[in-house]
Amino acid sequence: MLLSGDRETISISGLGDASLKIALSIQKCYPQPIIAVDSDYSFELVLDKINSLEQLHQKILESSYQTVS
């Protein structure tokens, strides 16, 4: 996990369970919606309404170059 110098971007490597759990954990502690985008820009997900790892996996599978909330 990397934090950009301006503290506006967090980079988390991979789409494995550990990486996705970190993203969800950060969202739970952060008061504003966080947008997750993969390195290929094949999905853009708003994490504040995703409540579980399983739901996040499903949203990733459903996504195709669109914002899913």
Question: How many structural domains are present in the chain?
Answer: 1
Q: How many CA atoms does the CB half-sphere of 11 hold within 13 Å?
A: 7
What is the structure's pLDDT at 41? Answer: 87
Q: What is the pLDDT of residues 27-65, one digit of tens each?
A: 999 999 999 999 888 899 999 999 999 999 999 999 865
- Domain residue limits at 51: 2-68
- Neighbour order of strands in the sheet with 35-37: 35-37, 44-46, 67-68
The C-alpha atoms of residue 17 and residue 36 are separated, in whole angstroms, by 14
The C-alpha atoms of residue 40 and residue 37 are separated, in whole angstroms, by 8
Q: What is the pTM of this model?
A: 0.83
What is the structure's pLDDT at 23? Answer: 97
